[in-house]
Amino acid sequence: MRVQALGLPPTINVQPLDQTVTNMGSVTFSVTVDASLSLTTHYQWQFNGVNLTSHGANGTKLLTLLDPVISYTQPNNTSNNVGNYSVILTSTLGASRTSSNAVLKVVSTPVAFSAAKPGTNGFQLHVTGITGVNFVVYASSNLVNWVPIHTNTSLTGSADYTDPAATQLNFRYYKVLTQ
């Protein structure tokens, strides 16, 4: 038989972990609460110290020994979602405890590109990635100074680009990033 620890804040056994997610990816933060001490716990997830209001960011959960986890899922992450995530847990009598911060990092969507030999029209690149993402093609002649030479939103997950300036250069390096 479990006994509610009256007047004490919920105990967090496992703090939320830092997460890294690709652009537009989903991430889930969670804490594990000592379910032997707290039966019903109210939770409020925060982003940089401000209460989140999206679905699943707050509520009340009846904790069990088989399910002592309180989670929050943040979908479609961009650079706007980078920061600190934490949760405030409150017992039925109002005693609260705040988790440690978990840092969210959002990285560019991985892309791949292949190149063909220079032709009369220039050097041809084929870029593959995620549908609806902007591909930005950068070029450099020294691997230090990179200049964006083309941006294209891919409606199908791939895009082609021909660099006409490549026919005038001895060396040309390319990289592709997403926005």
Residue 82 is predicted with a pLDDT of 95
The dihedral over CA atoms of 146, 152, 157, 159, expressed in degrees to the nearest 10, equals -80
pLDDT digits (tens, 9 = 90+) for 114-157: 766 666 778 888 887 766 667 788 888 888 999 998 887 777 77
Average pLDDT, the chain: 85
Q: Which domains does the chain have, with CATH numbers?
A: 12-107 (2.60.40.10), 112-178 (2.60.40)
Q: What does the pLDDT look like over 26-64, one tens digit per residue?
A: 899 999 999 877 678 999 999 999 999 998 999 999 888
Beta bridge partners of 60: 42
Residues near 175 by Cβ (< 8 Å), separated by ≥ 6?
A: 137, 138, 140, 146
pTM above 0.75, yes or no: no
The mean pLDDT value for 162-178 works out to: 82
